Amino acid sequence: MDWEIISYENEKFNELMQQYEAAIKIIKTKLELIDQELNFKYGHSPIHGIQYRIKSIESIKGKLKRKKLDQTVAAIKKLYDIAGIRVICNYLNDIQYIAQLLVNQDDITQIKHSNYIQYPKNNGYRSFHLIVSVPVYQKDGKINVPVEIQIRTIAMDCWASLEHELCYKNESKTNNDIKIRLKECADKMAQTDLEMQKIYLEINRPWDGNR
């Protein structure tokens, strides 16, 4: 395969990346407006933070290779996770509510979702994954661009970040015992999330009950 088909000098590649960047800005703004409205109406700001990224050219090439796709701009459009947003919520109940409010918007189309909170991965990973399509308007017309959104609690994000750092940097040292201990940490954090949600509801009148 010609690995030079995709490059920073490729005009079509750069144009596609600009479309992904625009899509991220649109979704990020929508999420911020949802958070502001809920804070205004109910005095509860469910979003703790928003992170976002565009996959690097090296990561894109690697994924195309793993999927046995051509190293072309056309093939990139078959991938759904080039543009990614991570939404960190305060409580468990916030996750599904934020996701629902987003996909209910007229110009957002849900492509798929994966509920790794209800059905965690074997290693203990928990998060709600959502892939949506958002229209990006350019001078030549409207383009629908996919964006992957991960919605998780602070505890889930803490575990995922540390687990990735520990396992990615020390893959050769990550034996079965360590994997079991990391899974136990994930389970304990999941229990903490449940308890923190209960405490919040005991202290506050449920904000989602006032909708």
Q: Per residue in 15-28, pLDDT tens?
A: 999 999 999 999 99
Examine residue 124 and state whether it is found in any structural domain, yes or no. Answer: yes
**Per-chain mean pLDDT for the chain:** 91
Q: Which of 106, 112, 92 is nearest to 46 (CA)?
A: 92
With vertex at residue 196, the alpha carbon angle to CA 191 and CA 202, rounded to the nearest 5 degrees, is 130
* Assigned domain for 6 exists: no
- Residue matched to tokens 């505890």: 155
| Backbone phi, psi, residue 141, to 5° | 130, -170
Q: Is residue 3 part of a domain?
A: no
- Domain containing residue 131: CATH number: 3.30.460.10
DSSP state of 208: G
Residue 115 forms part of a structural domain: yes
Q: State the residue range of the domain holding 146.
A: 11-210
Q: Is residue 202 part of a domain?
A: yes
- Please state the domain count of the chain: 1
- Average pLDDT (168-181) is 80
Residues 6+ apart with CB under 8 A from 13: 6, 7, 57, 73, 76
* Backbone φ, ψ for residue 79 (5° rounding): -95, 140
Q: 9 pLDDT band (50/70/90 cuts)? A: low
For the stretch 103-151, pLDDT in tens is: 999 999 999 999 999 999 999 999 999 999 999 998 888 999 999 999 9
Is 126 a domain residue? Answer: yes
The span from the CA of 77 to the CA of 211, in Å, is 38
- The C-alpha atoms of residue 95 and residue 5 are separated, in whole angstroms, by 40
pLDDT at 99 over 80: yes
Q: Is residue 169 part of a domain?
A: yes
Written as six digits, the tokens of 2 are: 């010609």
- The pLDDT of residue 211 is 42
pLDDT confidence tier of residue 175, bands split at 50, 70 and 90: confident
Give the distance from CA 175 to its chain's centroid: 28
pLDDT tens digits, residue range 192-207? Answer: 999 999 999 998 865 5
What pLDDT digit, counting tens, does each position of 35-82 carry? 999 999 988 999 999 999 999 999 999 999 999 999 899 999 999 999
Asked if residue 58 belongs to a domain, the reply is yes
pLDDT of res. 205: 67
Contact 113, 129 (CB under 8 A): yes
Sequence-distant (≥ 6) Cβ neighbours of residue 143 within 8 angstroms: 19, 135, 136, 137
Q: Is the pLDDT higher at 92 or at 172?
A: 92
The whole-angstrom separation of Cα 203 and Cα 211 is: 18
